[in-house]
Each structure stands twice: as structure tokens, then as C-alpha cells.
Chain A
Amino acid sequence: MTSRRAVARRKVHARPPVVVIPLAAAAVAFLAIPFIALLQRAPWSDLRDLIGRPVVTDALRLSLTSAFSATGIALVLGIPLAWVLARTEFPGRPLARALVLLPMVLPPVVGGAALLFAFGRRGLFGGPIYDSTGFLLPFSIWGVIAASTFVAMPFLVITVESGLRASDPRYEDAAATLGASRWTIFRRITLPHATPSILAGAVLCWARALGEFGATVTFAGNLQGRTQTMPLAVFLALESDRDAAIALSLVLIAVSLAVLLPLRDRWLAV
């Protein structure tokens, strides 16, 4: 009932207080000016040529692969974690929540270093794994994906957790009285009810993974075609080839807008 009213309320046009308007305008200007400056410096005539270079295409491919992979892993692991945090009581719960938030507040470089100590060639887990299988996580695309997942999954977990907390658990009770097993309830009631928050969380997670820099450069390095994602390529190009850096930035902006714009109004207005 309340949700139906909330939808109706959106149609009411509120008149904002006077101070709100200039402050909101200042916020928009602050966000818009850097992009205008970027567009103004863009080498429009050479753009097609710049975008076709292997540095750009390699980085774009790597960035998209790692961002989508990280989002996929975050969905598989993060939704169950969000459910556990939202619906159960256990002694270590505050600690688990703090752990989930840690990668969000920590500088990503620290996260990358921590990953290196855990999964590096001589790391806590990485050492034994390398010795027995020869598999090495850092300085490979797997390292890029691991670093992205590490910093981006918390966004999905906290979004889905709050979505689950907001949904009425009595629907799950209703399903139980109809004979549904716990798995059926999770699959047919809990997940569909949490869909808006799952989508919102996945978008935030994807966006965070796409922009990931610090943990990636620390843990996976900066090898073109293997671990050099778009942000790393932009950073490197700024030193050597400013036009290429701008071209890479424009591609990144275009990709981000293409994903965010269609979803914004439908799913992110939580």
C-alpha cells in the first residue's frame, strides 16, 4: 500500500526553498565543467584514428571483461552474503559488516597490496597455490578481475542488504505456509522482491569495477594487452600522448553513459 502511494507522490511538483536552487546549480556546474573542458580539448579530427589504436582497443576489451566478470562474481557471492547479513543473527555479524565496508573506505592501493600479500607468488595462499599448480593470480587478467571484485563487491552487498531489509519478510512467511522450501522461498520470493536493489547494486558494482585503478595497478600491474585497463591506459597516456588520453577518456565516458542512462530512472531511483 505504501509503495503505491510513494509512486503517486512522485507526480506532485514541489516548489523548492529559494536557497536550494543556486546550490543545486552550483553542484551541476561543478560536475559539468570538467567534462566540458575535456570535450573542448578533444582532438575530434583524429578521434577515429586514435580510438582504433591497439592501446585503446586492448584496454577497452580488458576493462569490459574485468568489469563484467567482477560484477558476475560479486552477484554470485555477494547476494548470499547480503542475505546472511540482512536476515540472520550470528556473533560475528558486526565484524562481517565491517569487513564488507573496509574495501570501500580503504585506499585501493592498500587493497592491492593486501591482495599481493595474500595471493602473490610468495603470498599466504598464493605461495602454496603456485608451488603445487603453477597458477599465479597477479599480473594476469585474473589479477585484474580479483582486484576489481575486491573493491567493487561491497557496493553490491550493501545495496542488496538494504533492499532485503526494506522488503516485507511476511511474504516469505506466506510462502512457507504454502509449503515452499527455504530454497524455493529464496528463489521465487526473496530474489524477485530484491530485484531492484540487485540491479542497482550490480550497476554500482560494475561502475566501480570499470573505474578501478589503485588495487589493479598494485596487484595486477600495467601490462598492455594483459592487465592494462582503461584507467591505467589513460593515466599512462597523460604522460606521453595527451590526445590519446582524451580519446580514451571519451570512450570511457561513452561506455559509462550507455550503461547508466537506460537504467537510471528505472532502477537507480531507490
Chain B
Amino acid sequence: MLHAEVELKLGDLDLRFDLRADDGEIVALLGPNGAGKTTALRAVAGLQPLDGGRITLDGTILDDPAAGTFVPTAERPIGFVFQDYLLFPRLTALDNVAFGLRARGLSKAEARARAQGWLERFQLTTLATAKPRALSGGQAQRVALARALATDPRLLLLDEPLAALDATTRVTVRTELRRHLTTFDGARLLVTHDPIDAIVLADRLVIIEGGSVTQMGTPADVTARPASRYVAQLVGINLLHGTARGDRTVLLDSGATLTVADVLPGREVAVAVRPQAVALHRHQPEGSPRNTWEASVTDLEADRDRVRVTLAGPVALTAELTPAAVAELELAPGTPVWATVKAVDLTAYER
């Protein structure tokens, strides 16, 4: 279990928060750029010493400036997956994974044999002799994950693990990453600025704003009850629960059916929909997209230059429109509308 009470000043950043992550738990630090998320991870890894507070892992003090205790990075039982992965460019995939084992005193042969086992676990055996520049983003991420896990850490830290990927590979790599993360039994702490990544990957969200925590809770809690306007903007995402069926459709608990781009068959799933992805029409749209249903407006809330429109109907969700669109559609509480969402805008993941 990780317990980090962090007090840290770095330039304009004043980081001050208290964070716990239990074994088996995936915690996502979510916040805008410059909020101090990466610095928080670096502090836990010992790459950035604390000014005050204390970091303990499984009861061992790693950093406690008041007591003069500081365990150097190399001696902390921590795996770190960096943004851009930072695979050593001159080493093969195999030697990248073997690096930590070599550094911990294993012979070259022994380290390579164990690294080979890790490559097998991550379906990377055919790439053992490849140099990092020959790997795709998803492959590089798996090598980075294997490298971080090979030293058998008690805590896994991931800094923006999906930011280096393009939009098309991102969805599949995210699903894959979630599967791999669940095989690790220590605590996992992950930093991201993308609310969908955080919601899909994490058991618990910690929202960091300007160096301090503004809200924590399960993805369902935080998205349903955002504590501030900022959090609402950041994670104001519709989460719909249902059961996946083999034919790429999801039967929602409310009884409606959604068509998604790809899904794990026959499981309990959640579907995340960004409010911006929901389109509203006054009449049934022509050539109608598959995810179309009738709804009625229950509430309108102006938020700077956007209007959040709450809808009731077979699929209860929130849409976000421009004030001009709201005026053009003449929306008011009680207005009947048709709502549509494209299949590619639905992110389905196992619950």
C-alpha cells in the first residue's frame, strides 16, 4: 500500500496533497497540464525529493524530510512507465527488459532468460531482437510495461501511458493496457490528462488542480457528482451500464440497445460517451444512424460558451451544444428531440 503525503515546491508549482493507493487498486491522477501530476509521480519514485510530508510503501518510509530519511530511486521497489516510454534506443527489446535484472545483479544469461519470459507474457517474443525505433507505439508500450514489471516492483507508476499513441491505436492499446494492469497485484498509480483513459483504466480517480486534490472517488461517483464546475467540464462524461452481446451491441440496464465500434462479448460493460459526441435533432434524422432514440430535454445549463443539455428517455445522458445550436433547435425543458451518437464515439470497456 502506498501512502503519499506530498509537500513540494517546484517553480510556480506548489504541490500539497495526501494520496493512498491500496494493493490491487488502480488510481488515476487526472488533471490539466501543469497541475503537478507528473511531479507527484516523480516524487513517489524518488526522482524529486519532497520538501515536507512523507511517502511510505508497505510501511517502509521512502521519503521523510523531517526525519532525514530518503531512499534513493534505485533502491525503491517501484516500476515506472514513462511518457514516450523512454526505451533505451541502443538496446534491443530483450535487453531493455533485462536491464533492471542486470542492474540488480543477475548474470547476463539469467537476466535474459527471465526477460524472455516477460516478452512471452506480453506477446513480444518475435520482437526480442528489435531496437525500440522499429517498434509501433503499442509494442513499445508493452516493452516498457514488461521492463517496469520485470524487477518485481511493489508499486507501478505510469505517466501518460497512452499520450504517445495516435487516436486509432489508442483504443485497442487502452483495452490491452487495462488487461495487463489487472495482472499486477501491487498498487498502480497512473497519470493522465484524458478523462476517458482515467475512467476506463482506473478504479479510483483523483482530480488534481493547481497542485492540490479537488475530488476523489470511483469513476461513477466523480462523473455523476462532479464537485466543481471544473471537474464537471473535465469528467462530465456519460457512463452507461449494460451487458455486451456478441454482435457489437450493448443492452443497457435501462432496456435500450447501443451499437459500439468494438466490444468484449458477453460481459458486464460500461459505455462512456462524451457530451460533445451527442447530436440533437428536432425531427427523426434521415438515413438514421443506428444509435438514434427519442428523448426529452429536462434541463439546460449554460457553462461559459457551451450549454449542457440533460436528456430523459430510453438512454439518459447529457449533451453539450453551442448556444447557437440550442437557439436554432429552440430547446427548452420539455422539448422532444431525437438524439444520435456515432458508434465510434462510444467507448465500451469491461466493468
Contact = CB atoms under 8 A, between A and B. Distances in A.
Contact of A171 (B42, B86, B147): B86
B101 to A, nearest CB: 9
Interface residues of A, number: 19
Contacts, number: 59
A184 interface: yes
Contacts of A1: 84
Interface in A183-234: 184, 188-189, 192-193
A178 B133 contact: no
B126 to A, nearest CB: 22
Contacts of B47: 173, 176-177
Contact of A174 (B46, B82, B151): B82
Contacts of B72: 176
A170 B86 contact: yes
A1 B151 CA distance: 27
Contact of B103 (A168, A173, A179, A193): A179
A176 B99 CA distance: 11
A9 interface: no
A175 B99 contact: yes
A223 B113 CA distance: 60
A179 B75 CA distance: 6
Nearest to B76: A177
A4 interface: yes
Interface residues of B, number: 25
A189 B88 contact: yes
Contacts of B103: 175, 178-181, 184
B100 interface: yes
Contacts of B86: 168, 170-171, 173-174
A177 B90 CA distance: 18
B88 A179 contact: no
B90 A178 contact: no
B104 A179 contact: yes
A83 to B, nearest CB: 18
A179 B80 CA distance: 11
Contacts of A189: 88
B232 interface: no
Contacts of A179: 74-75, 100, 103-104, 151
A179 B72 CA distance: 9
B73 A176 contact: yes
Contact of A170 (B82, B99, B100, B148): B82
A177 B99 CA distance: 11
Interface in B66-83: 72-76, 78-80, 82
Nearest to B47: A173
A164 to B, nearest CB: 16
A181 B75 CA distance: 9
Interface string A56-87: 00000000000000000000000000000000
A184 B147 CA distance: 17
B45 interface: yes
Contacts of A168: 86
A171 B88 CA distance: 7
9 contacts: A173-B45, A173-B80, A176-B72, A177-B80, A178-B99, A178-B100, A188-B99, A189-B88, A192-B90
Given A177-B76, A179-B100, A179-B151, 15 more contacts: A171-B86, A173-B47, A174-B80, A175-B88, A176-B46, A176-B73, A177-B45, A177-B73, A177-B74, A177-B78, A178-B99, A178-B100, A178-B151, A179-B74, A181-B103
